[in-house]
Chains A and B, each alone.
Chain A
Amino acid sequence: MKKFLLKLALFSVIISIIILYILNKYSGYVDYFYGKVSSPAQTSLIIGDSRSLQGIQPSVIDSALSKKYELPILNFSFTVKQMSYGDAWIKTIKKKVRPETKNGLFILSVHPWVLSEREEDDVLNGKFYEEKMPPNNLHFVNTNPNIEYFFKNYEYFHFKSMIKKISIVHEDGWLEENSTATSDSATLRGWENIQINLYTKFSKKWKKSIFRVKKLSETIDFLKQHGKVVLVRMPVSKEIFDLELSYWRDFNQEITKLAKDKSVEYYDFSLSDDFGFYDGVHLNKKNGKKFTSILCDSISKY
C-alpha cells in the first residue's frame, strides 16, 4: 500500500506541476477567466460582459489616467453568459476591490442584456443563474494558484489553445481576439447574423428587470466608496441597437436618471458610428483602442 500511495502521490505531483506551470505561463491562452481570479485584489476595475472584455483596453487607460486615479486598472469583464448585475456580482466585486482603495476608477459597462431577468432566474426565491458561474461560484477570487477555480470551472480550460495561440487574455484582463481579423464582408455579415439571432432569442425569452437595475445601483453605492464610478454603454451596430431599443425603449432614460441620482457619469456610445465591429457587437483590436481613448477623454473631461 505504501509503495502504491507513494507512486500515486509522485504522479499527482508531476501532473500538478505541469498544470500549474502551464497556467502560470500560458493562462491567457488556456482560459479567458483564470487570470482574473488569480490576480490580487485591485484598486480599479472594468466590469461588464464580452463587449467590455474585448472593447476596453486597460493599457490605454493606465497611460492616460494614471495621474488622476489609483491605477493600474484590471478588466474584470466576463461574458454575457456570466454577467448580470445582482447580489452575486456585488459579493464578487467586494472581494476583488482592495479595501483601502479611496481613489480608484470603476468602469461599469451597461446595456439591456446585463440588466435583464433571464429564463433561468427565480426572482421570488432569490436564485439567479449567475450564482453558478465563474467568478460568482468562487469563494476566492484573488489567489494564485486558484485551485478552487480549477476544480469548479475546469470546462473553461482549453489547454490546446496554448499551442494555437490565437486569442489571449492579457494580464490586465483585456481579451485580444485575433481569430476575427478578416475583411471578408460575407464572413462579417455571417457573424453579425449570429449575434442578431442570439439577441433576438434573448429579447423573446428575457425581460427587463427593475430588480437588476436596483442591484446596479447598489454596486455603484459600494464602488463609490472606493473612487470614481462611470457607467458606459458601448457602441454596437445599428441593427443590434434597434433590437435593444425595441426590447427596452427607455433604457437610456432610466440609466441616465440612475446616474443622476447616484451622481455618477453615464456615457452612452451606443449609436456612435465611428467604430468598426467584427460582428455588430464586439469592437476589434484597433477600434477597441480608439474607443478606450475616447472613453478616457470623456472621463478626464468630467
Chain B
Amino acid sequence: MVFNSFEFLFFLPIVFVLYWFVFKKNVKAQNLLLLVASYFFYAYWDYRFLFLLVFSTLLDYFTGLKMSEATTINRKKFWFWLSVGVNLGFLGVFKYYNFFAESFAELLATFGFKAHFWTLSVILPVGISFYTFHGLSYVIDIYNDKIKPEKSIVDYSVFVCFFPLLVAGPIERATHLLPQIQRVRNFDYYKAADGLRQILWGLFMKVVVADNCAIVVNEVFKNPDSYNSSSLFVGAIFFAFQIYGDFSGYSNIALGTARLFGVELLRNFAFPYFSRDIAEFWRRWHISLSTWFRDYLYIPLGGSKGGMWSQVKNTMIIFLVSGFWHGANWTFIVWGALNAAFIMPLVIFKLNRTNTNIVAENSFLPSFKELIQIGLTFILTTLAWIFFRSESVTQALHYLGKLLNFSDYKFPEVDLKPFLFIIVLLIFDWLNRKKQHGLEISNIKYPVIRWGIYLFVFLMLLFFGASSDSFIYFQF
C-alpha cells in the first residue's frame, strides 16, 4: 500500500479509530493492533514476502535474547554473527547476487575467459534494506551492551515493522523507538495536528513536485539525444527535486502518520538543498541512513581517530557502501564515490564542520556568500544525481557529456512548469527552515491564514497533482 493511494485513505482512519477509541486503555492491545495493521499494510503490496519480514524479525528477536543469555563471549559472538550473516545473506541474495554474478562474469570476459553464472529471477522485496538495517542496529546494540533485549515479541515486531516506516524508513534505532512502543501513549492534540500538516506537506512534495518533475525527467533521461543541452540541464535539476520531493515527501508522510499514533520517528531530512557545503548536505539528507553508517560502520572502523589517512579511508568506505546500499548497480557506487570526492577536501582541510548552524539563522535572506555556497553545493549534488538516475555509467557519462556541451544551450524543449512547483516548495521550506518540516505553521496567529494555506496546498494537490504508483525509495 502506498501513502498517496485511496486505499491508505481508508486504512489510516480505521487504524486510528481502533487505536485511540477501541484499544486506548491497553498499550499491549494497541501494539498488537499496530502489528496486525503493519503486516496488512505490507501484505497489501505482496503477501509472498511477508514471510521474509516475519522470519527476519523472529531471527533478530531470538538472537537478541540468546546473546543476552550467553555465558561465554564465544556463544555471544556465535549468535551475533548468525543474525548478521543471515540478515546480510538475505540482502545479498535478493539485492546483490545478480550484480556480483554478472560483474564477475564481465570481469572474466575482459581477461578472455568465458563464464556463465546463474542469475536469479527474483523480485526485490520492498523495504528489505530498511527493515534489515533496523534489525541489524538492534542486534549490534545488544552485542555492544548498549541495550537490553526486548522481551515482548509483539513490541519488538512493531519496532521492526511499524507501518509508517516499514518500506522506506526512516531507519530507526531501538534506543529511540522501542521505549516509545513500550510506554503508554497519550493523544497529543498539537502533535497530531502537526502530524496532519506534515502529511499534507509530504503529499505536496510527492504528488505535485516529484511526480510532475518525473514526467520531464523520465523523458529526458530516456532520450537525451532528442533534446538540447539546456533541456538536459533542466532534466538534471528536475531530478534533484524529484528525488527530494519523493523521498523527503515520503518521510514527511511517515513521520506525520506516526505522530497521529503518538510516536515520534527520527527526522530524515532537514532542508538539504539549503546546505552550504557537501558535509552539511550529508547531515541534512537521509539523516537516519547517514547516522546509521556513522554509528555502525564509520566509528567501528576507527572514525577520525586514526589520523588523516584513516579518516579519508573511512569516509571513502562509508560513501561507497552507502552507494551500494542504494542498489546493485555501478551507477550507485559512482554516485557514492563522487560524493566522497566532493566531501574529501572538506575532510582533509578540517572544514567539514564549518556549517553546523541553520543558514541565515538571524536574517530573513541568505547573504551573497551563502547564496553562492548553496548554489555550488546544489550543482555538485545534482551532478552526482545524474549517475544515481541513469541506467548505466555509460548512459550517465553520455548525459553528462551532452549536458556540458555549452554550444548546444538554447531555450529548453521541455515543460518548465515544474519550476513553479519547485519555487512554491522552496518558499515554504525557506520560511520554515528552522522547523521540522515545510508546513509547520502552528505559530501563525490567525486561523484564517493557516486554513487558507492548508486549502492552497490542497488545491495544488487537486489541480496540479500528477500520478505515480510508487515512491523511488521503495526499490532500495
Contacts and interface: CB of A to CB of B under 8 A. Distances in A.
Nearest to B187: A1
B196 A1 contact: no
A181 interface: no
Interface stretch (B128-136, B163-171, B326-334, B462-470): B462-470
Interface residues of A, number: 17
Main SS at interface, chain A:
helix
A152 B189 CA distance: 32
B215 interface: no
Given A159-B462, A160-B463, A163-B463, A4 B454 contact: no
A19 interface: yes
A1 B261 CA distance: 12
Nearest to B193: A4
B468 to A, nearest CB: 10
A3 B189 contact: yes
Interface string A138-166: 00000000000001101100011001000
A4 B455 contact: no
Interface string A1-34: 1011001100100110011000000000000000
A163 B459 CA distance: 13
B192 interface: yes
B6 A151 contact: yes
Contacts of B451: 11
Contacts of B458: 15, 18
A19 B467 CA distance: 18
Nearest to A163: B463
Interface in B401-444: none
B189 A1 contact: yes
A19 B462 contact: yes
B455 A155 contact: no
A18 B451 CA distance: 14
| A3, A11, A163: residue with the most chain B Cβ atoms closer than 10 Å | A11
A159 B6 contact: no
B20 interface: yes
A152 B459 CA distance: 20
Interface residues of B, number: 16
Contact of B196 (A8, A159, A163): A8
B196 A160 contact: no
B191 to A, nearest CB: 10
B6 A154 contact: yes
B6 A14 contact: no
A166 to B, nearest CB: 15
Contacts of B196: 8
A160 B464 contact: yes
B378 to A, nearest CB: 29
A1 B189 CA distance: 6
A11 B192 CA distance: 15
| B196, B463, B467: residue with the most chain A Cβ atoms closer than 10 Å | B463
Contacts of B459: 18
Nearest to A157: B462
Contacts of B6: 151-152, 154
A128 to B, nearest CB: 22
A221 to B, nearest CB: 37
Contacts of B467: 155
A152 B455 CA distance: 23
Nearest to A3: B189
A7 B454 contact: no
Nearest to B465: A159
A194 to B, nearest CB: 16
A14 B454 CA distance: 11
A192 to B, nearest CB: 22
A14 B20 CA distance: 25
Interface in A44-75: none
19 contacts: A1-B187, A1-B189, A3-B189, A4-B187, A4-B189, A4-B193, A7-B193, A8-B196, A11-B451, A14-B455, A15-B455, A18-B462, A19-B462, A151-B6, A154-B6, A159-B462, A159-B463, A160-B463, A160-B464
Interface of A: 1, 3-4, 7-8, 11, 14-15, 18-19, 151-152, 154-155, 159-160, 163
Which 9 pairs, one residue from A and one from B, show the smallest C-beta to C-beta distance?
A160-B463, A159-B463, A159-B462, A1-B187, A151-B6, A4-B189, A155-B467, A4-B192, A15-B458
